[in-house]
Amino acid sequence: MFLIGIIASIFIPRLFKRSPTAEWASITEDLNSLALFARQEALANHFVYRLTFIANPKGTDSVRVEQEKDDPEKPGHKKYDLVSSYYLPTTYNFNTAIRLKAVYVGKTNMLDEQQGVAHCYIIPDGLVQDVIVHLVRRLNGVETSGSFIMNPFFGRFEFNEGLIRPAR
């Protein structure tokens, strides 16, 4: 019994501790689910959609799917509303250990330009704006970082370890 207790005390905490590699893979999958949903909706409905990244200094960072609509209060102007779905989540909240560091469009960090909010647009023909999303994971004093690079033709994020700088 004593040996079983020692072995359990070593291995049980490891079962609940997620490795950075598994965390990055899970985030990639979740971001790609949102991007795929927005891309399919843009193709089917012929509206512009966007992924909105929100860096919340007092809470959890998130990303959500929004659809372009006519603004009834300002004729000729557009606004974006949160999309809802019965089948798929349209908002993703990052783990509290994960923080948005930057969202690059070209060489511009849109989080800095737009006070903690950045967008990735999907147009009705299915093309997705080329963005790079930088995330930082801080857990138990250890910091790891990752870059999620959008492939605009396939509408999928690809993960790269570390912070990848924009090429342009």
Q: Is the distance from CB of 100 to CB of 61 less than 8 angstroms?
A: yes
Contacts of 32 by beta carbon, 8 Å cutoff, 6+ apart: 156, 157
Q: Using one digit for the tens of pLDDT, what is the confidence trace for 89-130?
A: 999 999 889 999 999 998 999 998 888 999 999 999 989 999
Whether pLDDT at 71 is above 50: yes
Say what the pTM is: 0.84
Domains, the chain, in order of start with CATH, read 19-161 (3.55.40.10)
